[in-house]
Structures are given as C-alpha cells and as structure tokens.
Amino acid sequence: MITATQIRGARAMIGMSIEELAAASGLPVETVTALENGEFAGEPHALFDVRSTLEANGIIFLSSGNQDEGGPGIRLRARSSSDDGIRPENLNAANDD
C-alpha cells in the first residue's frame, strides 16, 4: 500500500497538478484530494488508479522494507530513452537553455 505522503510527493516530483492527476486517472479532483489527505476508506479502485497513473509517468514506489533506513518513499524510474542529454565536453553557450 502507498501512503498519502507518497502520492503528494510523487505528483510534485513529476510536476503534475491535482487536476492533471485526476484527469489522467479518470477520477474526480475531490477523490484525488481525499487520497492525498489520507482518506483511503471506500476508494480502493481510486488508489489503484492513482498509483498506476503515477507509475506510468515514471514514479517507483518504495516500501519501508526496500531501504536500509527510512520509511516508504518514491523515486523516478531511470531514463530508458536514447537521449542522454548533452555530454559535458559538448556543453557551450550555444546549447545553454
């Protein structure tokens, strides 16, 4: 199970608003807000939909047993695209955005 804090943190990590998460997961904004406030009762499908949406956007949920210290957490999935960005030796003022 994921926590309300993980949901809020995951959404913030990928720069998604509550409205965007609600639309992407097919849920009302009020339901997503309730999940972020820890009000999971009666909404098991909603929690699954939110988790699936966040995972589809690159979030990996960590349970408390996944790390040596600390509790549940989140992280971004490693990029799998061939675009690794600009190599350090190729950085210059022309490609500085």
Q: What is the pLDDT of residues 47-94, one digit of tens each?
A: 999 999 999 999 999 887 655 567 788 888 886 655 566 667 777 777
- CATH number for the 2-74 domain, one of 3.30.565.10, 1.10.730.10, 3.50.50.60, 1.10.260.40? 1.10.260.40
DSSP of 19-59 = HHHHHHHT--HHHHHHHHTT--TT-HHHHHHHHHHHHHTTE
> Comparing 43 with 37, which gets the higher pLDDT?
37
With a pLDDT cut of 90, the percent of the chain lying above it is 55
Distance, in Å, from the CA atom of 35 to the CA atom of 11, rounded to the nearest integer, reads 12
Residue ranges per structural domain of the chain: 2-74
Distance, in Å, from the CA atom of 30 to the CA atom of 39, rounded to the nearest integer, reads 11
Q: Does the structure show a pLDDT above 80 at 8?
A: yes
pTM recorded for the entire structure: 0.74
Distance, in Å, from the CA atom of 45 to the CA atom of 63, rounded to the nearest integer, reads 20
At residue 85, the pLDDT reads: 65
